[in-house]
């Protein structure tokens, strides 16, 4: 600031320090970091489901969540990082679900609960389609999906092996092959559920689940012998 004589009058140091404290600073957004990230992941899922990979952007995610683009880039450096975070969160949910459903005698319930969970979310499978389509052209992204699917099958294999030991899962086929088949069956169902909802009406869905359990159960005479019937 200049006085009448043209000389510069310096702002007192304390005033400068006060102004600095009041000035907005970039950095970690205020609030619950984990909750904010989860909120943005949900918004990213909705945008990807609606727009696809090509149409999704950090700006659109920010608009959907009601935040600035800068808030989104704090959590996801770019669109690829956002896609990676979405797929990791999907498989985290898979893992958490299996962690609480480790009873090998009730594989039907595991499949049933998972189908109910995914069919209740209209964005879930459109997003999975987009993730898988993107992985076809991005080896690094495909490697993430391959790694997470391998872990999922490993946990399911452990559950099935325990079931084989207890005599409730057929033992003439290796557990890892049964796990792979169950994964393929459930993926196929859930892929077609949004396209053919009438095919998965409650009564028919229960019949499909029962047929799947029959395929992985021991023959009735063997099962009865092992269970002492």
What was the pLDDT predicted at 189?
83
| Domain 79-229, CATH among 1.10.275.10, 1.10.357.10, 3.40.930.10, 3.30.360.10 | 1.10.357.10
What residues does each domain of the chain span?
Answer: 27-77, 79-229
What was the pLDDT predicted at 29?
57
β-strand partners of 8: 2
- All residue ranges of the chain with pLDDT < 70 are 1-31, 101-106, 221-229
What was the pLDDT predicted at 103?
62
**Helices and strands, number each (H, E), in the chain:** 11, 0
What was the pLDDT predicted at 74?
93
What was the pLDDT predicted at 229?
43
Alpha-carbon distance 201 to 185, whole Å? 17
Q: Is 166 helix (H, G, I), strand (E, B) or coil?
A: helix
What was the pLDDT predicted at 20?
40
pTM: 0.71
Is it true that domain 27-77 has CATH number 1.10.10.60? yes
């Amino acid at each position: 600031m200049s006085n009448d004589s043209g000389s510069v009058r310096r702002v007192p140091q304390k005033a400068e320090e006060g102004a600095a404290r009041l000035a907005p600073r970039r950095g970690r957004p205020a609030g619950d970091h984990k909750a904010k990230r989860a909120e943005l992941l949900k918004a990213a899922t909705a945008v990807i489901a609606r727009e696809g990979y090509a149409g999704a952007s950090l700006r659109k995610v920010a608009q959907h969540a009601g935040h600035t683009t800068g808030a989104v880039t704090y959590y996801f450096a770019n669109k690829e990082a956002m896609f990676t975070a979405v797929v990791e969160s999907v498989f985290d949910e898979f893992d958490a679900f299996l962690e609480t459903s480790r009873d090998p005698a009730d594989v039907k319930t595991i499949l049933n609960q998972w189908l109910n969970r995914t069919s209740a979310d209209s964005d879930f499978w459109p997003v999975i389609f987009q993730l898988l389509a993107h992985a076809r052209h991005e080896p690094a992204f495909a490697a993430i999906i391959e790694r997470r699917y391998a872990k999922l099958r490993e946990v399911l294999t452990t559950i099935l092996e325990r079931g084989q030991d207890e005599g409730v899962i057929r033992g003439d086929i290796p557990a890892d092959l049964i796990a792979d088949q169950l994964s393929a069956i459930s993926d196929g169902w859930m892929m077609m559920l949004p396209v053919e909802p009438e095919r998965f009406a409650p009564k028919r869905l229960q019949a499909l689940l029962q047929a799947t359990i029959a395929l992985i159960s021991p023959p009735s005479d063997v099962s009865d012998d092992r269970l002492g019937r």
